[in-house]
Structure 1
């Protein structure tokens, strides 16, 4: 700590040199995944501090991480960090392993408000191998950022023409249906007369975690599968509902954490064809139905968790290693009550990798694979899932939960929309529920209103993301009527205002006059914005008053040359001032769920 004053002077001097555009050897530049990796293994450290410069492309909130070789991490670290001369007052805590070593994180985030050159200085009793800058949203969401061992190969695949074309489709699609459906749907949130909330066993209280939350033995759960025999109308009904809601793609749980496959798998008999009375392949049927409706198709696949055939997901072995170095191990999602006797490696080689390949080979038009439960899989294993998919079909988009940030985009978290400072990361998606549970729970009647779903939707659209909205059909495949009604009503708004949704991007403003509280009631005067070329869309989810003011579209935003009410051919009268765009709505009636204004801007 005694070197802080001297080091601050050095850091300021270095910033001044860099600010004049002088090249500095080895300066790190922010990567595609928004992380900055600074190799300091060869940098001199003689009782003082390391200073490294880096080029930031995306302003936002970041945390600093140190990577140490295991032999230098057995004792508590004494370390301090300054970013642009500002001292972080907390101590680093060990977070996780990567192939390069052990990652420790300073919990205090630093806001880097401007792109350009910045510096980090580090004093540490044990010299790190790397200093890393990671978006805070990754740390908040417990996202593990991998080493650089696979990054060059990953970025080559991610940046390929096929993958970028797939990402262009995905970004334009904006709105999809998530479906959580399986054996657990038949139980409807209860087991032997006890609701999942009253199980007495710690765990998520959502229906699809039934086997875990009741610690149901594998043999007993297999027997229960005989009760799952859905109606043959499932696929066509679901595809039609997605189309009526204005969705462009569908993603269904081909295999959730219980390990049960909704498709006929050649590598496991724990599937729809062998473990239930149903005659058919539910994934193939829904794939065909979605294509008939013009919808893209994707599958969810739980690769890290498999409570039937995935043993304890290597929990005991990983925990023993972590405990030695003080790295936390989260047991959530691991089968510790009745694990299968096979090694975890056998599960990956004999089931997980082959099933992913089966899905790709059977469905040549598969557009997305949504992984979950990465848990304790290694960096090499996560990368192999990504590479396996790319090698078989490079046109498939992969979500970040494949592990170690090797996905093509990130999720903001369940039912979570990122804040402005968190948008430094890759393109994002929010997956959300229509009530509380993802899978079917017969007594969960707390349905979100159409207006609340739209509020979530326009917030996501304004920040440039996708909304993957979930349904949980019952054991027969039927969707609860309140969910159907709100989805269809939502679809009317989406279809009327499609120009503001599909193919749009963020504007210079996300919103105005919006109450940021979760589940806030919508009121007049709230607007969310999106943009396309020289057009700006102002989205409201309440009916228009006789006079409407949009402050963000004042004269300084650009000259409004044309104004259009989407879904209407009625002419609007408006006046643009330095304070706001003022629109006369007298005599014009708008929908109960609001309206969208398209403003064409000129010079």
Structure 2
């Protein structure tokens, strides 16, 4: 019996030891897999010339796309490219373009890499085909993820997904989706200057890069110590917080996001991690982020902060540029320096900046603002996948109720943004909820000479278009150095707000209907520069409608104030049994007729200065 007991103890000890060793090995393997340097070429598509199907001078390949994203196309040749045979015609996934080949960079001593300017957008995964017609002598074709859309290793995906799907996060996202309209505020030391440095307008700066006012330091390559001098005179009016919170409420904006720290590294809050902030470096000597947070809560507005985590021209060294360039040079990839301080970088490393300033400041904001709703990260640049994940996890671990945007890096955002002043097409399939951020003129920060203000009708059109496609609109103001919102900007926003308050049922809490719009083709907004160059000339007719829906109601939105008979084709017989038709705003019940051509009704009693009207259609079922 004693021997049996002894053997049992030995056996149990052996099993325990084996389990412990297996656990250690598994944990070690996991740590090794997560700590390995991710090879970005794993997501490249490399097609060899010898594997192509050749017909004359046309080469074709079939290949698989693992990750829907934006890609760039490259051709690799041995030796110099002939001037006579230096063009290529490309057809891929319904996209077609022709370009001249040029020597972009050299790899492996004498291999020439030529990169096409046209970008390739893969919407879906699976099989694709590419054909290239060229007389150029090449070795391989490379399809590489665009530098602004890096694809990660997937090592952190499951942990991120569990946080993203948590009850707290999903509840916060639901509130965000229902809000629909927010106020963006770009404001800082650059606001004092108004887009002019030593008599030269930022648009005439001698260096390449964005010409928006908040990029002043970058646009003129201002040395760090010289830029710091701006803080000595930054002394905004004490009424700033109350004024902008009131403006947001007047317009009908349900949330607000302000630049707590932009790329210049200056913080609008009292930071323990840096003295380059409003409390320590300016005459204001107070925390304006906390003041605005309190003002927003008082007005019933959700509060969010913008934080530039990847770019910091004051303390972020070169933004990790040199390290990334070293790897990219060996692969024949151009390293885009935009947004990196290469003229006067701080002496610390970029990693030290993250650990000594960026991570701590994000935590400071989360602790300072316990009811914070959103962190809007920006300037990812050369943030690594692990670092992007750490920012997301830091936010979640401190306050899981805070929503995080896409620009935190890789695929770790809770929602997408379409881009600065960009609205996606109604046909685009997006895997997450989305938001468009836009400006009221052509700059984000205050630019004293930019008087190209978007009219109330233009602003409302962008908003209605975004609503019909199921997104949010984060609309920016750029106060001057004292915190004053340009008068025309404020007036146009308030005029737009009258329509929003009158037709609130068609706005808040709505979602995309099966038909986004009818009438003219959509006018896509494709970036800040696009609108600045082309202006806005769209004319609206009584045949144009945009749709939103909520519960058993469909809202048909018109941007005209034309009275008389209207026909809404998308609500024809068979598209839903109608119970009631009403004009929002005055609540008037309308007579109607539904047939195979559409829903016919008559609109009367519209104010002459109305920006538009909304027809509320109640269906008998959902």
Q: Given the alignment, which residue of 564, 571, 592 partners 2:589?
A: 571
> What is the aligned partner in structure 2 of residue 300 from structure 1?
306
Deviations 1:427-452 (A, max 9, x none): 11000000011001111111100000
Given that 1:63 and 1:107 are in contact with CA atoms closer than 8 Å, whether structure 2 keeps it comes out as no
> What is the aligned partner in structure 2 of residue 524 from structure 1?
542
- In structure 1, C-alpha distance between the alignment counterparts of 2:165 and 2:268, rounded to whole Å: 32
Written as runs of structure 1 = structure 2, the 5 A alignment for 1:351-500 is 351-500=357-506
Deviations 1:55-101 (A, max 9, x none): x9xxxxx55879xxxxxx9999xxxx9999x999999x99xxxxxxx
Change (3 A) 1:434 1:587: closer
Change (3 A) 1:153 1:470: same
- In structure 1, C-alpha distance between the alignment counterparts of 2:399 and 2:91, rounded to whole Å: 45
1:478 aligns to what SS in structure 2? Answer: coil
> What is the aligned partner in structure 2 of residue 317 from structure 1?
323
Given that 1:74 and 1:324 are in contact with CA atoms closer than 8 Å, whether structure 2 keeps it comes out as no
Change (3 A) 1:442 1:107: closer
- In structure 2, C-alpha distance between the alignment counterparts of 1:88 and 1:199, rounded to whole Å: 36
1:260 aligns to what SS in structure 2? Answer: coil
Given that 2:69 and 2:149 are in contact with CA atoms closer than 8 Å, whether structure 1 keeps it comes out as no
> What is the aligned partner in structure 2 of residue 7 from structure 1?
none
> Does structure 1 residue 283 correspond to structure 2 residue 289?
yes
Q: Given the alignment, which residue of 564, 572, 575 partners 1:554?
A: 572
Given that 1:544 and 1:595 are in contact with CA atoms closer than 8 Å, whether structure 2 keeps it comes out as no
1:304 aligns to what SS in structure 2? Answer: coil
1:412 aligns to what SS in structure 2? Answer: strand
Q: Given the alignment, which residue of 491, 499, 511 partners 2:517?
A: 511
2:289 aligns to what SS in structure 1? Answer: helix
2:419 aligns to what SS in structure 1? Answer: coil
Change (3 A) 1:257 1:535: same
Change (3 A) 1:40 1:323: closer
Change (3 A) 1:561 1:420: same
1:313 aligns to what SS in structure 2? Answer: coil
Deviation at 1:575, TM superposition (A): 1.1
Q: Who wins on radius of gyration, i.e. which is larger?
A: 2
Given that 1:526 and 1:540 are in contact with CA atoms closer than 8 Å, whether structure 2 keeps it comes out as yes
Change (3 A) 1:164 1:593: same
Change (3 A) 1:47 1:215: closer
Given that 2:231 and 2:281 are in contact with CA atoms closer than 8 Å, whether structure 1 keeps it comes out as yes
> Does structure 1 residue 174 correspond to structure 2 residue 192?
no
Given that 1:261 and 1:272 are in contact with CA atoms closer than 8 Å, whether structure 2 keeps it comes out as yes
2:367 aligns to what SS in structure 1? Answer: helix
> What is the aligned partner in structure 2 of residue 209 from structure 1?
215
- In structure 2, C-alpha distance between the alignment counterparts of 1:452 and 1:483, rounded to whole Å: 12
> What is the aligned partner in structure 1 of residue 84 from structure 2?
none
- In structure 2, C-alpha distance between the alignment counterparts of 1:156 and 1:75, rounded to whole Å: 48
Deviation at 1:521, TM superposition (A): 2.9
- In structure 1, C-alpha distance between the alignment counterparts of 2:197 and 2:563, rounded to whole Å: 51
Given that 1:83 and 1:118 are in contact with CA atoms closer than 8 Å, whether structure 2 keeps it comes out as no
- In structure 2, C-alpha distance between the alignment counterparts of 1:82 and 1:198, rounded to whole Å: 39
Change (3 A) 1:122 1:148: farther
Deviations 1:89-134 (A, max 9, x none): 999x99xxxxxxxxx999544676xxxx9646899x9999xx99x9
Deviation at 1:335, TM superposition (A): 0.6
1:380 aligns to what SS in structure 2? Answer: helix
Change (3 A) 1:206 1:82: closer
Deviation at 1:279, TM superposition (A): 2.1
Deviation at 1:298, TM superposition (A): 0.2
Q: Given the alignment, which residue of 333, 353, 356 partners 2:339?
A: 333
Q: Given the alignment, which residue of 219, 231, 236 partners 2:237?
A: 231
- In structure 2, C-alpha distance between the alignment counterparts of 1:372 and 1:191, rounded to whole Å: 24
Written as runs of structure 1 = structure 2, the 5 A alignment for 1:164-203 is 164-203=170-209
> Does structure 1 residue 247 correspond to structure 2 residue 253?
yes
1:509 aligns to what SS in structure 2? Answer: strand
Q: Given the alignment, which residue of 570, 591, 599 partners 1:581?
A: 599
> What is the aligned partner in structure 1 of residue 87 from structure 2?
none
Deviation at 1:51, TM superposition (A): 7.8
> What is the aligned partner in structure 2 of residue 150 from structure 1?
156
- In structure 1, C-alpha distance between the alignment counterparts of 2:95 and 2:509, rounded to whole Å: 42
- In structure 2, C-alpha distance between the alignment counterparts of 1:393 and 1:504, rounded to whole Å: 27
- In structure 2, C-alpha distance between the alignment counterparts of 1:438 and 1:89, rounded to whole Å: 33
User: Which moved further from structure 2: 141-150 or 330-339?
Assistant: 141-150
Change (3 A) 1:481 1:495: same
Deviation at 1:314, TM superposition (A): 1.4
Structure 1 unmatched ranges of 5 or more: 1-37, 57-61, 67-72, 95-103
Change (3 A) 1:589 1:218: closer
Deviation at 1:194, TM superposition (A): 1.3
TM-score by length of 1: 0.80
Structure 2 unmatched ranges of 5 or more: 1-41, 53-60, 80-89, 105-114, 132-138, 526-535
Written as runs of structure 1 = structure 2, the 5 A alignment for 1:29-68 is 62=68
1:225 aligns to what SS in structure 2? Answer: helix
Change (3 A) 1:362 1:315: same
User: Which moved further from structure 2: 344-353 or 314-323?
Assistant: 314-323
Given that 2:241 and 2:288 are in contact with CA atoms closer than 8 Å, whether structure 1 keeps it comes out as yes
1:251 aligns to what SS in structure 2? Answer: strand
> Does structure 1 residue 163 correspond to structure 2 residue 181?
no
Given that 2:71 and 2:120 are in contact with CA atoms closer than 8 Å, whether structure 1 keeps it comes out as no
Given that 2:502 and 2:585 are in contact with CA atoms closer than 8 Å, whether structure 1 keeps it comes out as yes
Deviation at 1:334, TM superposition (A): 0.6
Given that 1:311 and 1:344 are in contact with CA atoms closer than 8 Å, whether structure 2 keeps it comes out as yes
1:555 aligns to what SS in structure 2? Answer: coil
Given that 1:235 and 1:285 are in contact with CA atoms closer than 8 Å, whether structure 2 keeps it comes out as yes
Q: RMSD of aligned C-alpha atoms?
A: 3.5
Give the paired residue count: 529
TM-score by length of 2: 0.78
> What is the aligned partner in structure 2 of residue 25 from structure 1?
none
1:557 aligns to what SS in structure 2? Answer: coil
